[in-house]
Amino acid sequence: MDISNVLNPEGETVRDSLEELDELILAQFTSPQREEQDEELVVEPFVSVQEALEALAKLRLYQEQSGGDTGLILQLNRQERQLRVVREESLQQSDGRSF
């Protein structure tokens, strides 16, 4: 049997328009569920360093008051120091721009 007979049988004629072909191809890459997920995507507001420091202080206070894990409290302290460094660096950069 010749392979061209398998790929293009004599009795079968395919008449797909370009629009139908486009729709078939695009349907494989897009799904209605994916479009719904994109619509539900919520953009979270930007959290400033100051807001992060305040939240971190509140979490650390909660852990200390509730007798929380000492290791976690130490990690929170380290994170607070790092955020303070970031805040100081950003303040120095903004001070340098004001000249």
Domain assignment present for residue 44? The answer is: no
> Using a CB cutoff of 8 Å and minimum separation of 24, what contacts does 66-72 make?
none
6-25 tens-digit pLDDT: 777 777 776 777 888 788 78
Residues 60 and 90 in one domain: yes
Look up residue 63 and give its amino acid: Q
**Residue 31 CA to its chain's centroid (Å):** 20
Q: Which tokens sit at 51?
A: 């807001």
Residues 24 and 57 in one domain: no
10-67 tens-digit pLDDT: 777 767 778 887 887 887 777 666 556 666 788 888 999 999 999 999 999 999 999 9
| CB of 52 closer than 8 Å to CB of 87 | no
Domain assignment present for residue 70? The answer is: yes
Is the whole model's pTM more than 0.85, yes or no? no
- In the chain, the number of structural domains is 2
